Amino acid sequence: MKYTRIPHTDIRISKICLGTMTWGRQNTEEEAHEQMDYALDQGVNFFDTAELYPIPAKKELYAVTEEFIGNWFKKTGNRDKVVLGSKIAGKGHAATHIRNTGFSKESIISAVEGSLQRLQTDYIDLYQLHWPERNTNYFGQRGFNAHIIDGWEDNIHQVLETLRDLIAEGKIRHVGLSNETPWGTMRFLEESKVHRTLPRMLTIQNPYNLLNRLFEVGLSEISTREKIGLLAYSPMAFGVLSGKYLTEIPPRKARVSLFPNYNRYSGETATQATEKYAQLAQEHGLSLAQMSLAFVNTRPFLTSNIIGATTMEQLEENIESIDVDLSDEVLEGIEAIHNAIPNPAP
């Protein structure tokens, strides 16, 4: 395994992070425990979860994923071997069964307390805001709609104050963003620069893969200059970049087959790009999955690459991508495809 550090800290984390959002819907608790056992044995010491998981979110399954992890911590005693990230859900339809009060002081405190109880731990290493509570472009929205008036009042100072108090209590160690825009990222960073008692956002968890490299527009410069590390999610584009949906009969139990509305990476142009990437991988004796993950691993702004798997075979292949070195010829081929079909799936 290769390791990085959470920026501005001495916390050493694996460059491959174990994602958990399928646990409780596509994976049983036994399978989740098996994945954690294997990942830790392979040197993966960074696990990421959220109170919203499993995905798609469902009231009856609220926070089951965190419960699975907490039970594993209790069973194995491995809490001190894992750097743990979790998240508070923002406003929106997907979270109405949790709360719809955004990032108020009471909401953040309640969310942290609930996660700590379910995770059976005294602290969370990295606590993240899952998505902005204001209207902006995320979750597949390519651009910002300036015509929408959302009534949001800037509460970033208050949010950081609440997180600061939770850090002082020892309940969380550090904080990060998720699904954030360049404006939002800089707004949080500037607030903590001006008010130095407030905590600094250290990471940003956004989508990044061969079909969606929009992080490179604006956010990659912020990441590099401000040292806020990318935790890349969906590096396999909901499994599309395994190539399994290019077959005439897609696998019945695969994510996009089970949940057809998860079609962000399945449009006609995205499929054309996927076919070209699959051909490039084949020409160089690589699996499309490992080429896709290895590409993300090469990015200079990457702190950790969040993989997810529903089978042990997928997990093994995904973790092994850390040892895949892409030749200059492969990287040049990737850029040629990207230039011809840029960001087909925002």
Dihedral pair phi/psi, residue 268, rounded to 5°? -60, -45
Which residues, at least 6 apart from 34, have a Cβ–Cβ distance to it below 8 Å? Answer: 312
Cβ atoms < 10 Å from Cβ of 172? 24
- Pairing state between β 3-5 and 12-14: antiparallel
Query: What pLDDT was estimated at residue 146?
Result: 81
Q: How far apart are CA 6 and CA 343, in angstroms?
A: 28
Q: Which residue has the tokens 């089970």?
A: 258
Count CB atoms within 10 A of the CB of residue 153.
7
Contact between 176 and 202 under an 8 Å Cβ cutoff? The reply is yes
- State the pTM of this model: 0.96
Alpha-carbon span 222 to 99, nearest angstrom: 31
C-alpha span between 173 and 166 (Å, rounded): 8
Q: Which residue has the tokens 């604006």?
A: 218
Count other Cβ atoms within 10 Å, centred on residue 177: 24
Task: Please spell the DSSP secondary structure of 20-55, one letter per residue.
Answer: -TTBTTTB-HHHHHHHHHHHHHTT--EEE--TT-SS
260-312 pLDDT, tens per residue?
777 889 899 999 999 999 999 999 999 999 999 999 999 999 999 999 999 99
pLDDT, one tens digit for every residue, the chain (346 residues): 999 999 999 999 999 999 999 999 999 999 999 999 999 999 999 999 999 999 999 999 999 999 999 999 999 999 999 999 999 999 988 899 999 899 999 999 999 999 999 999 999 999 999 999 998 988 888 888 888 878 899 999 999 999 999 999 999 999 999 999 999 999 999 999 999 999 999 999 999 999 999 999 999 999 999 999 999 999 999 999 999 999 867 777 677 778 877 788 989 999 999 999 999 999 999 999 999 999 999 999 999 999 999 999 999 999 999 999 999 999 999 999 999 999 999 8
* Amino acid at the residue 315: L
Q: Are 201 and 176 in contact (CB under 8 A)?
A: yes
Number of helical H runs and strand E runs in the chain: 11, 10
- Residues labelled catalytic: 53
Angle between helices 64-76 and 105-119 (to 10 degrees): 40
Task: List domains and CATH numbers for the chain.
Answer: 3-340 (3.20.20.100)
C-beta of residue 103 within 8 angstroms of C-beta of residue 92: no
Q: Is 178 helix (H, G, I), strand (E, B) or coil?
A: strand
DSSP code for 199: P
CB 85 within 8 A of CB 128: yes
User: What span, in angstroms and rounded, lies between the C-alpha atoms of 90 and 104?
Assistant: 10
Q: Which phi and psi angles does 203 have, rounded to 5°?
A: -140, 160
The values of phi and psi at residue 80, to 5°, are: -75, -5
Burial of 244 (0-12, 13-18, 19+ CB in 10 A): middle
Q: Which residues are CB-neighbours of 61 under 8 A, at least 6 positions away?
A: 24, 25, 54
Return the structure tokens found at 139.
Answer: 């979750």
Closest C-alpha among 80, 92, 89 to residue 127: 89
Q: Residue 27: CA atoms inside 13 Å, Cβ hemisphere, count?
A: 27
Instruction: Give the Cβ contact number of residue 171 at 10 Å.
Output: 19
